[in-house]
Amino acid sequence: MFRRAFWFTTGVAAGVWATTKVNRTLDKLTPESLALQAADRAVLAGRRVKLFALDIRDGMAHREAALKDALGLTAAPDPEPGPRALPGRPRLVVVEPQHSHHSLTRKEDH
């Protein structure tokens, strides 16, 4: 009697396990799940590409600095940032107009 109960319980447990496993696999193969998996992989690939590009940029900056040092091209930075004036020409100064902060579509006065 105990043998039958043991094997019956073992069969039920195996059936539940197999059914659960099949249902999980089928859930992973739905179009929505496949789309989410593809999106996650695309985001991960984008992060990897971004990290790779940052590594390349960092390596380029280090190599450029090393080459400038080796060639003696390290010069003092330009003390005045912005556009440089041509020799013999005056530097143009851009003056931005003063705008009132009132909107033209205000309906408070109507």
Q: Which amino acid is at 66?
A: A
pLDDT digits (tens, 9 = 90+) for 21-51: 999 999 888 999 999 999 999 999 999 999 9
CB 38 within 8 A of CB 32: no
CB 68 within 8 A of CB 74: yes
> If 0-12 CB within 10 Å is exposed, 13-18 middle and 19+ buried, where does residue 26 land?
exposed
pLDDT digits (tens, 9 = 90+) for 45-82: 999 999 999 999 999 999 999 999 999 887 655 556 55
Helix (H, G, I), strand (E, B) or coil at 49: helix
